[in-house]
Amino acid sequence: MARQTGVSTRLLRYYEEQGLLAPRRRPSGFRDYREQDVETVRRIRALLTAGLSTRSIAALMPCLPGGGDLAPVPLSADLLAGLGRERARLRDAAAGLLAACEALDAVMASVHIP
């Protein structure tokens, strides 16, 4: 799993401790990861990169497509408000990145290479 995802075994164990990942166990005690666990780890990494906490991610995982049942999952008002703030922060960051790309495009378009 570590090779497939680029995530260290230590982090995989941490995700398991946080309830984000639930690999099956072999009789020997070794973890047995399924193909869907690879996608789960990728989602965890993306959400962490976006700035969400593991606690928020654990609450969201059942709500995400492919992450479990899409039936309504009760979220606290605090968590929902926090997610709204995160969404606003991400949108602001995306707008800033887009503006930076447009500025670079303008600079690159104005450069004349002899």
What's the token pair of residue 35?
């193909």
Q: Which long-range contacts (CB under 8 A, 24 or more apart) does 59-65 make?
A: 61/20
Confidence of residue 107 (pLDDT cuts 50, 70, 90): very high
pLDDT tens digits, 9-35: 999 999 999 999 999 999 998 999 998
Q: Is the pLDDT of residue 70 over 60?
A: no
pLDDT band per the 50, 70, 90 thresholds, residue 87: confident
- When pLDDT is cut at 50, 70 and 90, the band that residue 100 belongs to is very high
Give every CB contact of residue 34 below 8 A, 6+ residues apart in sequence. 23, 24
Reference 33, options 65, 4, 54; nearest CA is 4
